[in-house]
């Protein structure tokens, strides 16, 4: 499997195709795809959906995706990585929440643009980004960055308003608030303890576990472990952070505790996982 790499925080390109490259693509970065014109099908992780002009799709690192073009299609590609998420000005204060939303865009079937009011806004921003990068007049780079930031925030909002599906019927449900709270506080283990969440949301400790599983389909402990594991994998694969830095960031007591947690989940220690990921990238 060929894994595409990105060596700068973000890139923008426009490509017109009659046929998509005949291989499944797997990226080491996020890829936002906007359909400027054309129709066809797109496939992500073995699920296939129709696309048309004005649709937008977001692929997370390691998503397998391709397009089956039926009419000549003009694609707008915005590719960005972890460096972009942590360095840009608009979302850096809530990067953990944005990171969660972007990784879970796959739970939305088809285009992530669901609201009519967002469609002309996104179209305008995409067209302006393209024009600025072509003309390159004064401050074009700063304007492009501002537009990219705004575009990512709009997409994040759209994803959030459609996630997760099990909460769509009841927007008052505390379960969604609990999920968002866990995501925002995943870096502080004290704040994600069941006792603390029970007190914060006014749900008895004895009922909290059953309540969470009823609304999410998994235990709260499993959810926290899985979410934390995804963040660790992302840092091991796509950043140069030292193990000790990841340990501190995610609130582990020490490297021994961190290694035991990771090995229990993945069957190997973090260093082995990183080495395997690097060797896969090199061989690709």
Architecture of the domain made up of 169-283: Orthogonal Bundle (1.10)
Q: What is the largest CA-CA distance in the chain?
A: 62
Among positive and negative, which fits the CA dihedral 263, 101, 30, 235? negative
Residue 5 confidence (pLDDT)? 74
User: Cα–Cα distance between 40 and 135 in angstroms, integer?
Assistant: 31
Predicted pLDDT at 159: 84
Q: Where in the chain is the domain with CATH 1.10.10.60?
A: 169-283
Specify the pLDDT at position 71. 96
C-alpha distances in angstroms, 172 versus 169, 177, 205?
A: 9, 9, 20
Q: Find tokens 């492009």 and name the residue.
A: 144
Element (H, E) at 69: strand 64-80
Alpha carbons 181 and 164: distance in angstroms, whole number = 14
Mean predicted lDDT score pLDDT of the chain:
84
Q: What is the pLDDT of residues 184-237, one digit of tens each?
A: 889 999 999 999 999 888 888 888 888 888 877 889 999 999 989 989 998 898
Backbone angles phi, psi at 16, to 5 degrees: -105, 130
pLDDT band at 170 (very low <50, low <70, confident <90, very high): very low
For 160, the token pair is 């959030």
Indicate whether 264 pLDDT > 80. Answer: yes
Distance CA 24, CA 69 (A): 14
Q: Could you tell me if 20 and 67 are in contact, meaning their C-beta atoms sit under 8 angstroms apart?
A: yes
Q: Is a pLDDT exceeding 50 seen at residue 82?
A: yes
C-alpha 126/C-alpha 32 separation (Å) is 11
* CA torsion angle 284 22 58 136 (round to 10): 90
In the chain, ranges of CATH 2.60.120.280 domains: 3-160
118/195 Cα distance (integer angstroms)? 40
Does pLDDT of 168 surpass 50?
A: no
The CATH number that domain 3-160 falls under is: 2.60.120.280
pTM over 0.95: no
**From the CA atom positions of the chain, what is the Rg in Å?**
20
Q: Are 147 and 76 in contact (CB under 8 A)?
A: no
For residue 40, list its beta bridge partners. 51, 69
Confidence of residue 3 (pLDDT cuts 50, 70, 90): low
- pLDDT at residue 280, rounded to an integer: 64
């Amino acid at each position: 499997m060929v894994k595409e790499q990105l060596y700068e925080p973000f890139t923008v390109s426009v490509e017109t195709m009659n046929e998509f490259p005949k291989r499944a693509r797997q990226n080491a970065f996020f890829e936002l795809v906007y359909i400027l014109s054309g129709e066809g099908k797109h496939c992500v992780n073995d699920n296939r959906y129709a696309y048309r002009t004005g649709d937008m799709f977001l692929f997370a690192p390691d998503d397998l995706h391709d397009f089956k073009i039926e009419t000549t299609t003009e694609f707008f590609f915005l590719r960005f990585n972890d460096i972009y998420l942590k360095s840009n000005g608009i979302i850096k204060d809530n990067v953990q929440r944005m990171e969660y939303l972007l990784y879970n865009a796959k739970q939305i079937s088809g285009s992530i643009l669901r609201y009519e009011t967002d469609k002309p806004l996104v179209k305008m921003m995409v067209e302006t980004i393209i024009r600025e990068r072509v003309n390159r007049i004064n401050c074009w780079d700063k304007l492009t960055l501002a537009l990219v930031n705004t575009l990512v925030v709009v997409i994040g909002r759209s994803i959030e308003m459609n996630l997760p599906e099990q909460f769509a019927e009841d927007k008052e449900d505390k379960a969604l608030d609990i999920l968002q709270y866990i995501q925002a506080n995943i870096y502080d283990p004290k704040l994600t303890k069941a006792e603390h969440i029970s007190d914060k949301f006014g749900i008895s400790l004895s009922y909290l576990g059953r309540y969470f599983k009823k609304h999410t389909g998994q235990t709260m402990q499993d959810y926290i472990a899985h979410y934390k594991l995804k963040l660790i994998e992302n840092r091991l694969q796509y950043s140069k952070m030292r193990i000790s830095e990841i340990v501190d960031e995610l609130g582990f007591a020490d490297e021994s505790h961190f290694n035991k947690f990771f090995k229990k989940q993945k069957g190997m220690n973090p260093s082995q996982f990183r080495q395997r990921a690097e060797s896969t990238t090199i061989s690709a």
